[in-house]
Structures are given as C-alpha cells and as structure tokens.
Amino acid sequence: MRIGGCSFAFGPKPLAEAARILKGFGFQTVDLGACLGNTQVNPFEASGHPQETADTVNRCLDDLELERGECFVLDFGEPLNHPDPEVRRETQTRFKPLARFARLAGFRSVMLIPGIVHHSLGREKSYELAATELGVLCRIAEDEGVLLNIEPCEPSVIQDPGDVARMCEEVAGLGLTLDYSHFIDPGYRQSEVEVLHRYARHFHARQAAPGKRVETVAQGTIDFKRVVSLLEQARYEGIVAVEYVECETTRQCGVDVWQETPLMRAELVRLSFES
C-alpha cells in the first residue's frame, strides 16, 4: 500500500505549486486533477493536445521526483450517460486522447464519475445507459494502455453498494476508486462498503460521519485501522490517496484542508506500520 496526495486539494493552484505543497507534506505519489474547475489540467486541453500537456506535467512532476497515481477527470462537463447520443459520442471522442494523455504522463488509471439518474429515463434506464457507455469507455482506455475507474458517489446511478457491485460485475474491465465518505455520510455501514474492496484499484481517504461528508481526523467515524488491515490482508499494492479538498462542501463541514491533510497522512502511515 502506498499513500498519495491530490494536486487538487488546495484550490486551483498551478501544478508546480500544488506539487510542491504535496512534497512538503511528505507525499511521494500524486493524483492529478484534470477536470473542470478546481484542478491543474483542463480536460479539454489534455484531450486536444495529449502529448504537449503530458510533457508539461512530466517536467513538473519529474523535477520533484513525484510518482504518478491516478488521473482524476470526472467528466467533460456532461454526465457520461447523457440522454442525447451526440453528447455521449462527444464524451467517447474526447476520452480517447485524454486516456492517451494519462498514459503519456505516467498515470496507470483514469477516474470518471458514473453518470446520473435522468428524470426523463428513470433510474433503471439511466443505469443501463451508464453501463453501456462505461463498457465503451473501458475498451477505449484499454486500447490506450490505461485502466478506467469510477468513483461511486451521490447523486449518481450507483449510490447503493449493491448497485456498485452490480455495475462492476456487468462492465468488463471496470474498477473502482473507493471513497468510504460517500457511503458513510448517507448512512451506510462500514461493513457494507468493505464488500466493494474486491473491485477497488484506487482509494481516497478522508474522514466522514453519518450526515457529514467531510469530518476531521479526530472526529470522523470511519475505522481506518480496519480499512488498512483489510488492505494489508488482501496484499493491496495500490494507492490510498488523502483527499481533503478545498471546496464548498468542506467549508460547510468546518474542516481545514491544510490541517487535516497531513493529519490523515500521518494516521495512514502509523496504521500501515502497525498492521
């Protein structure tokens, strides 16, 4: 198990500045923000100019001797299961060179969010459309030499752990970026999340509590000692990326990203040595 940090944790800073902050906190591995908004790489730029954008990222991360984790994309501004087939085709078209960018920049996987429930389609048809599109995107990712992971979250077509498992079983090549906070906040038990470890290729780590998406390391209810123990038992060799992010949700929860990020890292380091 390796412990990583996220370039998009501290607001929309240039990659060089964000990478220096992570290095200063002791991280050796970085997840790159490449989505619209609070990140370092614009997904349209990465898709439109994959080699040039990768060269820029590589120079920055190589200068600081930082290893690559996951390329954090989310989407291109529209859900991947958009009802309009033209919008879905545009996502597929843009995703191919973006996946190439991720490989050229040294990232093993790309992370998307799984799509939403459209009122015009209903939950089941929205789910089916997401599964179909993810199947296409997984094949594109494989052709470009990277893995495709999705992050179960709310609101989305896979908010329930059972639906998450169903999606992973139905879509060949699909993996998870698993974040317990997205399940603990709406009230799921930790044991209900643990069954999803078998599909997880990447993890996000931050504390949460029922009714509170982001919580301090001291006050959160997630038993990370158990999480780390399970990962060690499974001989997990991937990354657990600390993901306290400066955003409106975090501010509403009264959590200080600058304080909790190093505390979460220290907690994971301590637990990994104890296990």
Q: How far apart are CA 262 and CA 5, in angstroms?
A: 10
HSE, CB side, 13 Å, CA atoms: give it for residue 224. Answer: 27
pLDDT confidence of residue 275: 53
Gap between the terminal Cα atoms of the chain: 11
Q: How far apart are CA 164 and CA 195, in angstroms?
A: 10
Residues 214, 215, 220, 221: is their CA dihedral positive or negative? negative
Flag residues of the chain having pLDDT under 50: none
pLDDT confidence of residue 60: 97
pLDDT confidence of residue 38: 73
pLDDT tens string 41-67 = 999 999 999 999 999 999 999 999 999
Nearest of 260, 218, 219 to residue 10 by alpha carbon: 260
Q: What is the pTM for the complete model shown?
A: 0.95
